[in-house]
Structure 1
Amino acid sequence: MEVFHSISKMASTLLLPLTTFFLALSVSYLQIAGAETHEELTTLRLNSHILQESIVRHINENIEAGWKAALNPRFSNYTVEQFKRLLGVKPTLKKELRSTPVVTHPKSLKLPKNFDARTAWSQCSTIGRILGVLTLLLVVDIDTNSLIKDQGHCGSCWAFAPTEALSDRFCTHFDVNVSLSVNDVLACCGHECGEGCNGGLEVWAWQYFASHGVVTEECDPYFDQIGCTHPGCVIGDTPQCVKKCLSGNRDWKTSKHYSVNAYYVSPDPHDIMAEVYKNGPVAVGFDVYADFAYYKSGVYKHVTGPVLGGHAAKLIGWGTTDDGEDYWLLANQWNREWGDDGYFKIRRGANECGIEDGVTGGLPSTKNVVKEVTDMDADTDLSF
């Protein structure tokens, strides 16, 4: 199709050699996640509670912190070890960096000072929802008509952020609202993507979309919905790959949606902003320190505590505070009990926690999309 060839052509012209990008990567993102020093681990024992009143006071009394801490209900009974399990992004391998293309954008592109994908593409229902799945039932937020979701106790963030971002991009590119299945990626990608609930890499998920596709969430719901209760499951194994739609009238193969490629985005903030501005939300991997569990509002930057692992979230915009601090805006997958109604801001332009090193994306493919729209409405105008 004409649109497929135009997208492929556009993607190929954007892909630059990896050398510049690889040299720009900071050591922080390549370090082994969770490699705390012995001194730090004795201070923060794995079986101790992740949330402590003393840490809240320490952060909130720090006038240079720039953000507010709280004892978030989402982790009220979590130990450090349980919190670490949610941080499922594995360290990026050097061979992966060398073999994956990198996208940049012209510096001549004029970008707004503030941008929020939820308002830029207000017709796209998936952008304005919190990542993850609320177990057993889906609750509809009456104010935003968004699904309130939660990843449970599985370290599946690496699968959530790319899957949700690709869902968004089917709308930003083709004006098709579709919610894609995290469970398909988590259960069926296997060793190509990592270790399921024990972690993976976002770019591997994008590669899975390109080579194998991903079914809809209706076809293959997140496994937490079939036997666990909110806020998550007991620690267990990764769900089995069944390759059969839960809904009897859906076919696994025809439910697949594809990307045409998988790439990193240059760590230059302008390139990241341009990528979101032109194509839609992206998946972002970053280092998580112990104080991130306390985030409530403001622009986060690391204040205290050891690094506990790598996490992934969906970057949907950016802005500047009244005090002149630049930030990224992201949707997390820890339900609305955590953070600023489930969202968070983090310092932009300083590669805070490696946030600008781990940006991944891919463009949606038209394969199966035209058929899906035609089946829904034979009279729909299919000129994308």
Structure 2
Amino acid sequence: MLRHKMYNSLSHLHTFLSCLQSSNVVKLLTHLKLLARRQLKMSLLHLAAYWWHPMLNGQIAWAETHRLTTLKLNSHILQESIAKQINESPDAGWEAAINPRFSNYTVQQFKRLLGVKPTPRKELRSTPAVSHPKALKLPKDFDARTAWSQCSTIGRILDQGHCGSCWAFGAVESLSDRFCIHFEVNVSLSVNDLLACCGFLCGSGCDGGYPLYAWRYLAHHGVVTEECDPYFDQIGCSHPGCEPAYRTPKCVKKCVNGNQLWKKSKHYSVNAYRVNSDPHDIMAEVYKNGPVEVAFTVYEDFAHYKSGVYKHVTGEELGGHAVKLIGWGTTDDGDDYWLLANQWNREWGDDGYFKIRRGTNECGIEDDVTAGLPSTKNLAREVTDMDADAAASF
């Protein structure tokens, strides 16, 4: 009887070692239970073999990492501990708060808003970066909203909803501003057109895109007006969590107003270019031509921004985000900053705007600056039609 039990124990031990060799984790755990039931004591040699086995160790480590990652992604993006750390730090330079915009957001939900894909290095090398003469004198403070107060689009704060469309907002909003600045045409262009119709040329729609490719699309294909093709989410994120995540809208190529023609409503950019990362060149570009699109890295603490000049203090890296840069300035304490318009509605940040350190490439804010000049294509036809309508009214 004893011999039979010993044989069974050795048999299970043999199977255990075979499972260990073949990396069959399910069978391994089964036979571990059987061994435990028979009170078979694992020798130090077996224990060493267990911990030494690289495949099993890797699987256990992966499972633990996956568990912790899942817990992190499902936790709230806004944390009282983060806000407290920033507000109690004398060196932070900005105020944190529990912003209503993300009161019910998890980390995973927040990450979906960060839709900037990194531009491939070959594209960065092949696309010339615009620079401006150093002799150009620039003001110490500049705000595009007051410099071109006749342009209503510059001061708008929009809401991208629960879609990673920031790359499209930054491009279309900047081009809208530039049409007013250069041609005195107050027009609101369609983010929805670019988001839905650019397709793989720009990236993955609500799952992210490339700012430079967006500007190239504006140059080659143009976008219609917001009146023709309004943004697919007219509610925004005033509702808790904005769940579920939005899918990219379909490209319809037809104005919602049947009296408007799609092609006739198109507005174009002359070109697409990068701006040199030197702060002087970025300032000069905005000063001469209007707001630009910038992309930067977002960390957990950025979701808590309320006011002041942002710099990364704490929290993990979450993704890339694109916004519109509209000016610059210097605080009374001597801190240089960029002034930017976000598209997370006015409940977030400083009435929808934020400031970030200038001249130190904070979070890569000066690395990826893109823009394009507005084109007169279709504008002549638009003016002619307006004149014809005016003549018909007399």
Q: Same fold (TM over 0.5)?
A: yes
Task: Provide the secondary structure at the position in 1 that maps to 2:233.
Answer: helix
Task: Provide the secondary structure at the position in 2 that maps to 1:239.
Answer: coil
2 CA distance for matches of 1:187 and 1:230? 23
State the match for 1:71 in structure 2. Answer: 98
Do residues 274 (structure 1) and 308 (structure 2) align?
Answer: no
1 CA distance for matches of 2:261 and 2:237? 28
Contact 2:193 / 2:224 at 8 angstroms: preserved in 1?
A: yes
Do residues 318 (structure 1) and 345 (structure 2) align?
Answer: no
State the match for 1:296 in structure 2. Answer: 306
State the match for 1:187 in structure 2. Answer: 196
Cα 1:289/1:92, change in 2 over 3 Å: same
Structure with more helix by fraction: 2
Contact 1:152 / 1:233 at 8 angstroms: preserved in 2?
A: no
Task: Provide the secondary structure at the position in 2 that maps to 1:287.
Answer: strand
- For the pair shown, the structure with the greater C-alpha radius of gyration is 2
RMSD: 1.9
Task: Provide the secondary structure at the position in 2 that maps to 1:51.
Answer: coil
Q: How do 1:206-225 and structure 2 match up within 5 A?
A: 206-225=215-234
Contact 2:297 / 2:320 at 8 angstroms: preserved in 1?
A: yes
Gap runs ≥5 in structure 2: 1-64
TM-score (norm 1): 0.81
2:88 to 61, 70, 75: 61
Cα 1:243/1:289, change in 2 over 3 Å: same
Task: Provide the secondary structure at the position in 1 that maps to 2:83.
Answer: helix
Contact 1:224 / 1:233 at 8 angstroms: preserved in 2?
A: no
Do residues 93 (structure 1) and 102 (structure 2) align?
Answer: no
TM-score (norm 2): 0.79
2:184 to 150, 175, 181: 175
Do residues 366 (structure 1) and 376 (structure 2) align?
Answer: yes
- Percent identity between the aligned chains? 77
2 CA distance for matches of 1:251 and 1:101? 35
Task: Provide the secondary structure at the position in 1 that maps to 2:329.
Answer: strand
Contact 1:69 / 1:295 at 8 angstroms: preserved in 2?
A: yes
1 CA distance for matches of 2:272 and 2:78? 37
**CA deviation string 1:39-92 (max 9, x = no partner):** 9x6597000000111111111000000000000000000000000000000112
Q: CA deviation at 1:102?
A: 1.1
State the match for 2:363 in structure 1. Answer: 353
Contact 2:119 / 2:212 at 8 angstroms: preserved in 1?
A: no
Contact 2:174 / 2:290 at 8 angstroms: preserved in 1?
A: yes
Contact 1:317 / 1:329 at 8 angstroms: preserved in 2?
A: yes
Q: CA deviation at 1:375?
A: 2.4
Q: CA deviation at 1:374?
A: 3.1
Cα 1:229/1:87, change in 2 over 3 Å: closer
2:148 to 102, 121, 129: 121
Gap runs ≥5 in structure 1: 1-37, 131-148
State the match for 1:24 in structure 2. Answer: none
1:254 to 261, 264, 274: 264
Cα 1:336/1:275, change in 2 over 3 Å: same
The amino acid of 1:274's aligned partner reads A
Contact 2:101 / 2:238 at 8 angstroms: preserved in 1?
A: no
| Number of aligned residues | 324
Q: How do 1:26-37 and structure 2 match up within 5 A?
A: none
2 CA distance for matches of 1:124 and 1:379? 24
1:203 to 199, 209, 212: 212
Cα 1:379/1:256, change in 2 over 3 Å: closer
The amino acid of 2:264's aligned partner reads T
Contact 1:154 / 1:233 at 8 angstroms: preserved in 2?
A: no
